[in-house]
Every structure is written in C-alpha cells, then in structure tokens.
Amino acid sequence: MTPAEAARPPRTEDARTPGSDGTVANEAAATELFIFVRLHAREGCEAAVEGALRDVLGPSRDETGCRAIQAFRATQDPRLFYIHSRWVDEAAFERHAALPHTLQFIQRVAVLIDHTLVVTRATPID
C-alpha cells in the first residue's frame, strides 16, 4: 500500500437495502448501528495489528455512543482480525470516525494490512 492509499479514508459499505420508496425497512425502529471491519495483516505485521486494535478499544469503549466494541483474531488464520461494534445510532459512529484515536488507528493499520480497509455499516434484519 502506498502512502497516498494509506492516507485515504476507509471505504464504507452500507448493508441496508432501500425499498421502492427509497426508505430503509424498519429505519425508525432500527436506529442502532452495527459495524464490521475485516483486517488481514501483512506477513510479519500480526503483532502490530493486534497492538493497534488493543490501543483503540479502550478509548472507543469510553465514547458515549458506543454500546460495545470488540476485536477478534481468527483461529485458523493468525493474520486475520475483525472488529465488531455497536453504536446507539449512525451519528454516534460518525462522531467516533472523526475522533483522533480512530483516525490514528486507521493510519496505523493502513500500512499493516494487505488490502484496502473496508468498514461495513449494518442494521439487523429483524
């Protein structure tokens, strides 16, 4: 990954599907936002990715809009990590995404992973 690629914000995917009228089903009821992030470390960067994850979890958990955040490591691929978090609403996650500890984390891991960082925003199906 080039330094210019590392400086770009992560790509986000919206897992909500709009209906024929452009609204999202259960939008009023489903204000809670779930975030999924996959991180595949470059060979030899596993410990650095894990360290970056550990450093960002505490400050993120302390945020008012964070209901939960946890990092995971795959059992069959030690280079594969995931973040799963829950936010009171999209605005809370947007605030989180702009905070210094989050921006620092994104910059830190961008050069440690072997793909473009993708953040998936999702709401429950029911």
Beta-carbon count within 10 A of 11 CB: 10
| Structural domains in the chain (count) | 1
Q: Is residue 25 part of a domain?
A: no
Q: Is residue 22 part of a domain?
A: no
55-78 residue pLDDT tens: 999 999 999 999 999 999 999 999
Sequential DSSP letters for 35-98: EEEEEEBPTT-HHHHHHHHHHHHHHHHTSTTEEEEEEEE-SS-TTEEEEEEEESSHHHHHHHHH
Asked whether the predicted pLDDT for residue 11 surpasses 90, the reply is no
pTM of the model: 0.78
**Helix (H/G/I), strand (E/B), else coil: 6:** helix
Q: Is residue 109 part of a domain?
A: yes
Q: Is residue 21 part of a domain?
A: no
Parent domain of 84: 3-15+31-122
CATH classification at residue 74:
3.30.70.100
30-48 residue pLDDT tens: 489 999 999 999 999 999 9
